[in-house]
Amino acid sequence: MKVLMMVSRDAQNPSVGGGESVFIHWAEELVRAGHQVDYLCSTFPGAPRETQHEGVRVLRIGSEYSLGFKSYFEYRRRFRGRVDIVVEDMLGGAKTPFLVPLYAKEPVVGVWFQDHLPLFAIQFPRVLYPLLSFLERAVVRAHQSCFVLTCSEESKESYVEKGGVAPNVRIFEMGLDARFLELDAPVPARARDSRVLFLGKLRRYKCPDHAIQAFARIASQVPSAQMVVAGRMDDEGYFRELGGLIRHLKLEGRVSFEIGITEERKLELLRTSRALISPAPVEGFGISILEGNAAGLPVVGTDGVPAEALQEGVNGFRIRFGDIDAMADRTRRLLEDDELFDRIAQSAYSFAHGRTWSKATQPLLALMDRPGH
């Protein structure tokens, strides 16, 4: 089959996120299964307009602000009547949604990762909240006649609450890259550093400031503890705020930033730290949680993380969003209690393994095989 994917960013984009990585892996798996995939996305400085990635044709057609509009014209010009199905990121990193069902001739499969309103409330001024809420519901209504893929029961519920049609929703399981699935047994507590790790884009809605505040409570009780905030720069103003918070809490020398780390360094941090903090109000799934688990690293995450991704006492601890004291308490226990750490680390390692991208692509392939697709 000929498949058109409409996604915010491709694998080479420096700002690529966890949601986009799902489409990238799906596209690769579809090519391996014998399908033809075109991947329509935004451009970035220095990027060629067209390239190939693992057999996928990548077409970069405009900025993230103009992508939703330009995709319509690109579809009409190059793809209308020439593909069998369109797979669309319904509300991803692009600043304007695609709204493909409003104009596509072919069947459309939408992908919904999470309830966006908790993120909007943190990321944008309050005056914009009603408009953003309306936009989110408008996107859901536009997809009522489409099949929709989502990554957890919580995400499905949020989609249906906003007007989505429950029988049209299918749940897929997140996958992991082969390098994580091939890791040896977890490094024991005694061989790890007394390090707390935040891993992700440095954006306000990810709430690394909560993780830093929790570490401030830990630092006075665990003198050897250190913290690394690692990931990609996404908001320079917010990054400066984080630096100011560290100075205000007198954590210079205890908290460090590692921006733009390599995959090798990320794996080293996951294999040698004692706790991974996931403080956001909501996560679609949280690929970094699975990656940490595959490296034997327990997670302290909020109740915004789906239950499929984080289970109390199995691969980490669940706390209420914003409960800094609870976050500090659970993290400190992982730093100080070797037996507790080793037990959860082994359980987390087992929890993560076996989650291949081949398996994660099966629900999409099943929809493609339906009559009419």
- Fold agreement (2-175+356-368, 178-352): yes
pLDDT digits (tens, 9 = 90+) for 324-355: 999 999 999 999 999 999 999 999 999 999 89
**Strand extents, DSSP E, the chain:** 2-6, 36-41, 50-53, 56-60, 85-89, 108-112, 147-150, 169-171, 195-199, 226-231, 255-259, 275-278, 299-302, 316-319
273 — phi, psi (to 5°)? -90, 170
- Which tokens belong to 55? 């057999």
Do 62 and 74 meet the contact criterion of CB atoms below 8 Å apart?
A: no
**In this structure, is the dihedral angle defined by the CA atoms of residues 302, 113, 62 and 4, taken in order, positive or negative?**
positive
Give the Cα separation of 186 and 345 in Å (integer): 7
In CATH, what class is 2-175+356-368?
Answer: alpha beta
Mean pLDDT of 224-236: 91
Residue 212's pLDDT is: 98
Residue 29's pLDDT is: 97
> For the chain, what are the domain ranges?
2-175+356-368, 178-352
- Pairing relation of β-strands 56-60 and 50-53? antiparallel
Residue 145's pLDDT is: 94
pLDDT higher than threshold 90 for residue 245: yes
Q: What's the pLDDT band for 118 if we cut at 50, 70, 90?
A: confident
Q: In 10 A of CB 12, how many CB atoms? A: 16
pLDDT digits (tens, 9 = 90+) for 53-108: 999 999 999 999 999 999 999 999 999 999 999 999 998 766 789 999 999 999 99
Selecting from 3.40.5.50, 3.90.1150.10, 3.40.50.2000, 3.40.1010.10, what CATH number does the domain 178-352 have?
3.40.50.2000
Residue 284's pLDDT is: 79
pLDDT digits (tens, 9 = 90+) for 131-147: 888 888 999 999 999 99
Crossing angle for the helix pair 338-352 and 324-336, nearest 10 degrees?
A: 100
Contacts of residue 266, defined as CB under 8 A and 6 or more positions apart, other chains included, come to 199, 230, 291
Residue 282's pLDDT is: 86
CA 103 to chain centre: 28
pLDDT digits (tens, 9 = 90+) for 133-192: 888 899 999 999 999 999 999 899 999 999 999 999 999 999 999 999 999 999 999 999
Nearest to 119 by CA among 67, 166, 158, 85: 158
Contacts of residue 16, defined as CB under 8 A and 6 or more positions apart, other chains included, come to 9, 10, 24
The predicted model scores a pTM of: 0.89
